[in-house]
Amino acid sequence: MTGSHTSFPDGFLWGVATAAHQVEGGNVNSDGWLLEHVPGTIFAEPSGDAIDHYHRYREDIALIASLGFTTYRFSLEWARIEPEEGRFSAAALDHYRRVLEACREHGLATVVTYHHFTSPRWLLAAGGWEDPRTPERFARYCDKATAHLGDLIDVACTLNEPNLAWLLREIGIGGEPPEGRAGVPFLAAAAGRLGIAADRIAPFQFTSSEPAFEVKLASHRAGRAAIKARRPELPVGWTLANSDIQAGEGGTDRADRVRREVNERFLEASREDDFVGIQTYGRHVFGPDGLAPLPEGAVTNQMGEDIYPQGLEATIREASRVAGVPVLVTENGLATEDDAERLAYLETAVSGVASCLADGIDVRGYIAWTAFDNFEWIFGFRPKFGLIAVNRETQARTPKPSAHWLGGVARTNGALPALEGQPA
């Protein structure tokens, strides 16, 4: 469908996304900062100043709008807003209000995530995402944030990727039960720093126990209720890391189990929400004993996974079928140094969204990950997902061709410009 015009509905959200810890820098009160700096950390490097978006947000928002995008998804940082339990920072809340006002000035709709992986250190010390008191604490924070900021928020996301820890466990990253955490050096070291037993440490990203499932689900529901109490009309949902789970040879039973545990039960829990955010980067193919080997000659991204933009269409269809609520694509993108690869990936992904719309699926928007090359958690700054390059020595921003291409799609609400070397 290169160069064609597809019918995207009026008000369709075309945007880019960031997350506070990944772009702001200096998030010293968060558990993420702690986990990056303990002995034995699995993080390739610390986040440090990141890309200094905390101070450069005005220029960054102006740049995003100038490229043609209509929407900015970003997150609030709980560790800044409530650095000690029950002590809320008016300065931090005012900062995020200025960010929202800058979006308004530039005509950008705001999709705001209340929790994007990182939590205050005090929450981790109190049992984190396995502690039964976390939902009421999260709801209190959501109430305070919405009271201060809610009139400038267009779409609210409570939790980012609460299911990711289960997917990571299936591919061999984290997911240890409480009794096994003493044997994980960085978790044991972080517990020591916090003065708690290792079996009590439960960071959001790395905890996939059944108590964690119940706490995350209860937190989402409590947060949603707190937001709705302040702004009943505000659309609220959560965002899910839903890979396209496929079965390789002999892997049907395992793939079915993973799909059920990672995707479907979280989608079922979304049925009472106003929408579900879908975040897809590709697929995971399972054999009987785990991930199937990649096909010989497979082209891979910087994470070592095969490049498979068709996964997004599959997960949108799955979400619509299982959750039965509108779908908002809140993240989709490619880690690569080759922007031509990114352009081809984005075109296929957006075409998949168009196909879903043509079949009557209620898709409300497409938000690419990510606005800027930034800190990518345990992988550090090496993976390049950004539509905008960042020179971290000077912090200069340079839009890539993919930014101009997708911005053009946004500006025309679905007219897909021809890629270089292809007919219009």
Radius of gyration of the chain, Cα coordinates, nearest whole angstrom: 20
193 CB burial (10 A radius; 0-12, 13-18, 19+): middle
Beta strands in 270-355 (DSSP E): 276-279, 283-287, 290-291, 327-331
Helix (H) or strand (E) holding 236: strand 236-241
Rounded CA-CA distance 23/57 in Å is: 10
Sign of the alpha-carbon torsion through 258, 124, 214, 135: negative
Beta bridge partner(s), residue 315:
none
For the chain, how far is it from start to end, CA to CA, in angstroms? 9
Residues near 333 by beta carbon (within 8 Å), at least 6 away in sequence: 281, 342, 345, 346, 368, 369, 370, 385
Active-site residue identified among 161, 170, 313, 347: 161
Look at residue 257 and give its three-state secondary structure: helix
For residue 260, give the nearest of 162, 163, 154 by alpha carbon.
163
Residue 161 appears among annotated catalytic residues: yes
- What helix, strand, coil percent values describe the chain, rounded to 5? 45, 15, 40
- Give the residue ranges of DSSP H helices in 150-242: 164-170, 185-194, 210-230
CA dihedral 288, 290, 293, 299 (to 10 degrees): 130
Look at residue 49 and give its three-state secondary structure: coil
Residues designated catalytic: 161
